[in-house]
Structure 1
Amino acid sequence: MVVERGAGVLVAMICLGFALPVHAAPPVDFTNDIIPLISRLGCNASACHGKAEGQNGFKLSVFAHDPEGDFRALTRESRGRRISPTAPADSLLLRKISGAIGHGGGVRAPKNSRAYSLFLRWIKDGTPYEIGGRPALTRIRLEPSRQTAALNVSQPLKVMAEFSDNTRRDVTWLSIFHSNDTNMAEVDEKGIVTIGNSVGQTSVMARYQGKVATFQAIVPRPGPGVAYPNLPNHNFIDPIVDSHLKRLNIIPSLLSDDATFLRRVYLDIAGRLPTANESETFLSNNTPDKRSGLVEALLETPEFADYWALKWADLLRVDRLKLGHEDAYRYYKWIHESLSKNKPLDRLAHELLTAEGPLTEQPAGFFYRAANNTGDMAAMVSQVFLGVRITCAECHQHPYDRWTQQDYHAMRGFFQQVTTKNSAVGLALLAEGNPTIKHPRTGAVIRPYPLGESMPEKSPQGDRRHALANWMIHPENPYFARNLANRLWAHFLGKGLITPIDDLRETNPPSNPELLDALAASLVKNNYDLKKMIRTITHSRTYQLSSKPNATNLSDEQNFSRALFRRLPAEVLMDAVCDVTGVDEKFDGVPRGYRAVQLWDSQVQHYFLKLFGRPARATVCECERVTGASMGQALHLMNSPNIQTKLAHEGGRIKRLTFKHEDDADIVRQLYLSTFSRPPSRDEMNTGLQYLGSRRFQRRRAAEDLAWSLMNSLEFIFNH
């Protein structure tokens, strides 16, 4: 058999997987080829050689944030024993990853694999770090980037790298993939996406050399298209939601009844149940605009400020252990007063960021004392006001976003001037000097710049915080309004357009981008008026939908085609128990009559509040508040001696009801109105009357039992 000259090279090129025609093997270097491959194989993951102490004497930087250090570790450390230039195939690196000798990480690249061949070529080429003149990577793209997909189908993705010389290269096999929601879609290491059984929108991220790209799939409900009803639009929200639901072949649920809306909006705006009298008044009102009128009335109640001050106190870390009792209270009162006066949210944020002077006169300055250091402050500001998580970028490149160590320390730089000094009226906050920040690895000076911007030639003049605050609240800021809109939407609808709600990033796209953009634009247009936004959301038909599903939206929990069940927050549920039983809870350190929602001190010890997920305010993450239900919670509601005492209290509601009403039907009706904000159905009334009648000589105890059963129902524990 005669083999023409060069045919062997051609066969080798085909085996290595390079596209034809090929004139020469592309050069291999450490930064463009080996680093992505090391990441792809998981060698620099935090569970392997990327952990702080390394693994078996070999340490790599986690997620390849220090390629120069990784190059030294691989080629120079341990007297260069990991690489054998004279006998490349005998290199310890290749013998380990191929399984020729024992390796704690197992076989990562068999000898016949593409990965092994690439490592071998690099060693044969002299282990170059970089190859001069090689074009720089500018971006990556996923092909396809967006697609309508059916349930239970697979779709291969291709990652194309684009370079500064306008060339493109398929780097799929060197990329890392991650699914945002594995219930919606899974992706394997080859980039093959498999859609699951859920309807909605999902995304898959690809990462290569610090660049990220996203594939989005819209997964409609299977079957023939349904005739979408002609529904009224209450405001701009509804047609945007309807348009999305039409694409998904989903019909929204019917509008909620008045009793459901009444209870829902009281809980969402004021953080409390309506009283029986308030329920009867609203339900008997036949005016067409009574829902908007109720919202307006609730926005002017003291309970509105109490409830929303609690929410913001969580985010802004009003923590007595951190600040001290008096200072934490001053900080809380400033938050409460700001919300009571409906201070625009952009102004509230600006005042917090730029606070200066004596803290007794400028309580907003306690925001800075809630942070441990400038890095903590940068992370707090980014997460609370921008919805961006940068904490992990302190040590390494963000694995699912574009933020680098430089970005993290640039944000830190805005707060380096901040210090405290004693004044005649106590501790004062001020910004002074012109401190510099250096990159912890390279030593290069980093001048402050906001997220997503470029480093300026000079640092901002004067108090740097003003430059950051002005950038943040600018109408064209890509994060601030979207973050606030997403947080407010999540509060009222039970789920953010982006989840987690404080994790806005390119690789975590919103479930309905058009709606998030519209809500953010509305916030900006209305000068960040919180009450105006609450009116807008609660007036929408989308907010007022029933939680009862239909045949098309039974499994939908993403697209707002129906109301979602939401367990009441710890403080709201505690107050609801007190309202139904008519007996106040006594909290340590405050007078009797304080509602749980009014507790500014998160350190007040209380078993019920802790069990039901009250946050300690150790972080600014919304995830610190536990909102899920548990067996322990259910058992506590059933068996708590404290709740039993409230039900049987001599001054409680149950005794008053049985004393005041001779007719058992009145007792049943009042209990249903106070717990569910609605009168009982005919069957419920008959069941209640039958139970009370069967215990004629223990009428009060029977009423206590009925109240207990209602308080242990899902209808009481959940907002719906």
Structure 2
Amino acid sequence: MRFIPLLAIALLCALDASASDVVVRPERVDLNSPEDSVQVLVETISGGRLVDRTRESKWSIADAAIARVDATGMVTPLANGQTQLVISLDGGDRTIPVHVGGVTQPRPLSFQEEVIPILTKARCNSGGCHGKAEGQNGFKLSVFGFDPRADHDALTKEKRGGRVSLAVPAGSLLLTKGTAMVPHGGGRKLEPAGRRYRRLRRWIAEGARFDVPGRVCTSIRVDPPQRLMGARQDQQLRVIATDSEGNNWCVTAEAEFESNNDVIATVNRRGLVVTTEVPGEAAILVRYMGQVAVSRITRPQPGVVFQRPPEHNFIDKHVWDRLTELGIPPSPLADDATFLRRAHLDTIGTLPTVTETRAFLADKAPDKRDRVVAKLLDRREYAFFWAMKWADVLRVDNAQLKPQATVAITRWLRRQMAENVPFDRFAREILTVRGNTRSETPAAVYSVMKSPEDLARSMSQLFLGVRIECAQCHHHPFEKWGQKDYFALAGFFTGVKRDGRSGGSQKITDGPGSDLKHPRSGLLVPTAGLGSAPITLEDPRDRRRALSDWMTAPENPFFARTIVNR
């Protein structure tokens, strides 16, 4: 059946507070190393929603010897101790506690967890600089820092170790070029004596080691995750990293920010979002250490009197809620002629006949539209039309398949559409099919997609809505998936066997299969679904069945959303 895409809705909660109420986040500042920083947000409640007042506030530290705060609400440490952060706004003061530790005797720095983020923030390892395939001026880094070991070797071993000087850290080429004290094609990337400069200098002074363990970021979240804003308003974002033990720390200064629609809202490198006069929604993409989060900025269309249409089903509620939030009035009901044309083209891919059109226009029954849709879904053309669409998605190609295989899978697709087979069963049969490619099954898919890697990226996009092909070579630039995730998913298809048969057909079967090796480390990557734990198999030939179980499970975060929006 035909699905209407569901829109993800994130409405603001009703707030029963006066406009003078001030909300400060976080409620406590903890700084645990000399280069730590914490972004503080200040918001007030106005018109039933939160409004950012961070840059309107006046900031001070009760004991200026312990910490400092700048005009944007970024707090940094000076000495171990306890003090208070004072926020002045609208004639009143708010205070939150500040704890500083690790300044006098800081823990050693982790190259992977604390140096790589600086190189990424400075865009040293981007595709336009030292991260491109051939590097830049003889210096190559891995794209987005996905290969820390290679990056460490490039910094400490290449050029006879000249990029870092353990004897004179401040004289290291990494620092003198980064601060443009010596000519640098990329210009100044570090502020002399700035926080990031001091962290790199300390790492070099500690021996420029690779093997120092650090807190490993397993996820990030952005605050606020969504915000309703007016024209020419600003909103400071803060980014919080979390490790496997649930510890949180602020990484706003190291995170990268990017707007998917600068026409509606822009964002700078410090995470300050500014809306324009143009209404709509922008997604602010936030990246840190391979993790991704999004803040959705909504700029409603002003001056719209929204008359909410009646709700005929649960989808209508979501649609009307979304249009209300955006300030977009719903389109008027299509007239009968327009409805009939659209219904035919969308459902069976053809126009209505003259006879059908005249009969429909002459029909005065109130349920005539419902009856037309029901009839269209029962027509033979519906199954043919949607089978053709799925054949395109599944890459059913005469140039790669024998005619018998093409006919067989096409007939199978038509039968699935005609019988209105549930999509979870449809997907499961494609994922687990065995048999001859000339039989009326989806087996021919495995003659088109031949390698485990090809199957992984195709099935991921098809049924999960996740494009992971970038992760075959390096960490995905806009998602959290890396090479480990890519080869973990591809491991589900390592047991697929294709035995040749007479007439050019193939018999698809399953062998034991095996985990794939990471292309850089050479270590085996346990087979697993995206973002899931490694699988446990009772029968080593059941890899594809395990994938279908994971993919179609009710708790899978990708499958249902992808199908309903396809």
Letter aligned with residue 321 of structure 1: A
Q: 1:82/1:99 Cα in 2 relative to 1: closer, same or farther (>3 Å)?
A: same
Shift of residue 325 of structure 1?
4.0
Unpaired segments of 5 or more residues in structure 1?
Answer: 1-8, 488-720
Match runs of 1:215-254 below 5 Å: 215-223=295-303, 226=305, 228-229=306-307, 231-254=309-332
Say whether residues 1:79 and 2:160 are aligned partners. Answer: yes
Cα distance per residue 1:559-598 (max 9 Å; x no partner): xxxxxxxxxxxxxxxxxxxxxxxxxxxxxxxxxxxxxxxx
Q: Deviations over 1:485-526 (max 9, x none)?
A: 011xxxxxxxxxxxxxxxxxxxxxxxxxxxxxxxxxxxxxxx
Using the alignment, how far apart are the partners of 1:351 and 1:391 within structure 2?
Answer: 24
Q: Distance in 2 between matches of 1:184 and 1:326?
A: 52
Change (3 A) 1:114 1:312: same
Alignment of 1:214-613 (within 5 A): 214-223=294-303, 226=305, 228-229=306-307, 231-423=309-501, 426-456=505-535, 461-487=540-566
The answer to whether the aligner puts 1:185 opposite 2:243 as a matched pair is no
Query: Does the alignment pair 1:139 with 2:219?
Result: yes
Distance (Å, rounded) in 2 between the aligned partners of 1:245 and 1:406: 40
Match of 1:150 among 221, 230, 250: 230
* Number of aligned residues: 476
Cα displacement string for residues 101-133 of structure 1 (whole angstroms, at most 9, x for unaligned residues): 33232322242543333222222232233545x
Matches within 5 A, 1:60-71: 60-71=141-152
Secondary structure in 1 aligned to 2:493? coil
Residue 79 of structure 2 is aligned to residue 18 of structure 1? no
Q: Offset at 1:330? A: 3.1
Distance 1:12 1:387 in 2: 46
CA shift, 1:479, in A, is 1.5
Taking the aligned partners of 1:415 and 1:229, their CA distance within structure 2 comes to: 52
SS at match of 2:200: helix
- Change in CA separation of 1:75 and 1:13 when aligned onto 2, cut-off 3 Å: farther
> Alpha-carbon deviations, 1:661-698, whole Å to 9, x = none?
xxxxxxxxxxxxxxxxxxxxxxxxxxxxxxxxxxxxxx
Residue 90, structure 1, aligned to residue 148, structure 2:
no
1:23 CA drift (Å): 4.7
Q: CA 1:381 to 1:116, structure 2 compared with 1: closer, same or farther past 3 Å?
A: same
Q: 1:120 aligns with which of 187, 198, 201?
A: 201
Shift of 1:375: 0.4
What is the CA distance between 1:138 and its match in structure 2?
4.2
1:39-58 Cα deviation digits (max 9, x unpaired):
11111112222222222222
User: Cα 1:182–1:310, aligned 2, differ >3 Å: closer, same or farther?
Assistant: farther
Secondary structure of the residue that 1:321 maps to in structure 2?
coil
Structure 2 CA distance, aligned partners of 1:288 and 1:252?
22
Q: 1:11 to 1:87 in 2, by over 3 A?
A: farther
> Contact 1:135 / 1:163 at 8 angstroms: preserved in 2?
yes
> Which residue is equivalent to 1:40?
121
Q: Give the partner amino acid of 1:469.
A: S
Query: Hey, what's the Cα distance between the residues in 1 that align with 2:205 and 2:128?
Result: 30
Structure 1 Cα separation of the partners of residues 331 and 464 of structure 2: 33
1:687 alignment counterpart = none
Give the aligned partner of residue 110 of structure 2: 29
Name the structure with the higher strand share.
2
> Residue deviations 1:418-437, cap 9 Å, x none?
12113467421111133331
Deviations 1:144-195 (A, max 9, x none): 2222211232211112233467654332121111223333322111111122
Percent sequence identity over aligned pairs: 40
- Where 2:293 maps in the other structure, the secondary structure is strand
Tell me the TM-score normalized by structure 2.
Answer: 0.78
The 1:67/1:13 distance shift into structure 2, 3 A limit, reads farther
Q: 1:233 to 1:431 in 2, by over 3 A?
A: same
Paired residue type of 2:77: A
CA distance in 1, matches of 2:470, 2:246: 32
Q: 1:393–1:408: 8 Å Cα contact kept in structure 2?
A: yes
Cα distance in 2 for partners of 1:336, 1:167 equals 52
Q: CA 1:458/1:82 → structure 2, altered by over 3 Å: closer, same or farther?
A: farther
- Asked whether the equivalents of residues 432 and 544 of structure 2 are also in contact (C-alpha less than 8 Å), the reply is yes
1:74: how far off?
Answer: 0.9
Alignment correspondent of 1:101: 182
CA distance in 1, matches of 2:401, 2:317: 47
CA contact (8 A) 1:447 1:458 kept: no
Cα deviation for residue 362 of structure 1 reads 4.7
- 1:151·1:222 contact (CA, 8 Å) conserved in 2? no
C-alpha contact 2:228 2:300 (8 A) present in aligned 1: yes
Task: Select which of 287, 290, 294 maps to 1:207.
Answer: 287
1:448–1:459 CA contact under 8 A, matched in 2: no
- Structure 2: how far apart are the matches of 1:433 and 1:372? 17
Moved more, 445-454 or 285-294: 445-454
Could you tell me which residue of structure 2 aligns to residue 518 of structure 1?
A: none
Query: For 2:351, what is the secondary structure of its paired residue?
Result: coil
The alpha carbon displacement at 1:409 in A equals 0.8
SS of alignment partner, residue 322 of structure 1: coil
Q: Is the 8 A contact 2:495 2:541 kept in 1?
A: no
**Where does residue 560 of structure 1 map in the other structure?**
none
Residue 169 of structure 1, aligned match among 249, 262, 277: 249
- 1:587-637, CA deviations, whole angstroms, 9 ceiling, x for partnerless residues? xxxxxxxxxxxxxxxxxxxxxxxxxxxxxxxxxxxxxxxxxxxxxxxxxxx
Amino acid in the other structure paired with 2:560? A
- Measure the CA separation in 2 of the matches of 1:104 and 1:324: 55
Which letter maps to 1:98? T
Structure 1 pair 150/186, CA: closer, same or farther in 2 (3 Å)? same
Which string of whole-angstrom CA distances, capped at 9 and with x for unpartnered residues, describes residues 427-473 of structure 1?
A: 21111133331222222222322122112466863231111112222
Superposition deviation, residue 382 in structure 1: 0.7
**Matched residue of 2:230: which SS?**
coil
CA distance in 2, matches of 1:334, 1:197: 52
1:318 positional shift: 1.2
For 1:235 and 1:140, the matched residues in 2 are separated by 36
Alignment CA distance shift 1:289-1:125 (3 Å): same
Contact 2:535 2:546 in 1 (8 A): no
Cα displacement string for residues 10-49 of structure 1 (whole angstroms, at most 9, x for unaligned residues):
6998899723554543443312221001111111112222
- Which of 237, 240, 245 does residue 160 from structure 1 map onto? 240
Secondary structure class of the residue paired with 1:155: strand
- Distance in 2 separating the partners of 1:195 and 1:459: 55
- Is the CA contact (8 Å cut-off) linking 1:447 and 1:459 kept in structure 2? no
More helix by share: 1
Q: Which has the higher contact order (CA 8 A, sep 6+)?
A: 1
Using the alignment, how far apart are the partners of 1:230 and 1:35 within structure 2? Answer: 51
Question: Per the alignment, in what secondary structure is the counterpart of residue 219 of structure 2?
Answer: strand
After TM superposition, the score normalised by the length of structure 1 is 0.62
- State the AA in 1 paired with 2:240: M
The DSSP-based 3-state class of the residue aligned with 1:217 is strand
> Is the 2:255–2:286 Cα contact (8 Å) retained in structure 1?
yes
